[in-house]
Amino acid sequence: MINENNFDMWIAIAFCFFPVIFLLILAYKSSKSGSMVKQHKPGTAPHLYEWVKSDINVPINKTGWFQFAIVWLILGSLFFFGALWPDHHDIWFEPVSK
């Protein structure tokens, strides 16, 4: 039985994994909002561009929010399973005496 007096496991899980859900929601919204593209103005130098709003949606895996969510998931998993889990496994799951 899980020891109900140890809330640090749930705080660790919340910090390491729950933000990924929020970041994926932001990535989805970002992918459906269109994008900005560079457009060359005719009659100007070849290196001069301006940013123009485009209605073409960006794939979700190309957004910065999605990439940040993947990085958070990887680093959160490494931190949780590498540092927190081995150190506190015996405390988190010790049998509760009644």
pLDDT tens digit sequence for 46-61: 788 888 887 778 888 8
- Which residues fall within 8 angstroms of residue 34, CB to CB, at 6 or more apart? 53, 54, 55, 56, 57, 58
| β 49-54/35-40 pair status | antiparallel
Rounded to 5 degrees, what are φ and ψ at 59?
A: -60, 145
Three-class SS of residue 9? Answer: helix
pLDDT of 96 over the 80 cut: no
pLDDT at 71: 96
pLDDT tens digit sequence for 64-87: 899 999 999 999 999 888 887 776
Give the model's confidence band at 94: pLDDT under 50 very low, under 70 low, under 90 confident, else very high.
Answer: low
Give the model's confidence band at 16: pLDDT under 50 very low, under 70 low, under 90 confident, else very high.
Answer: confident
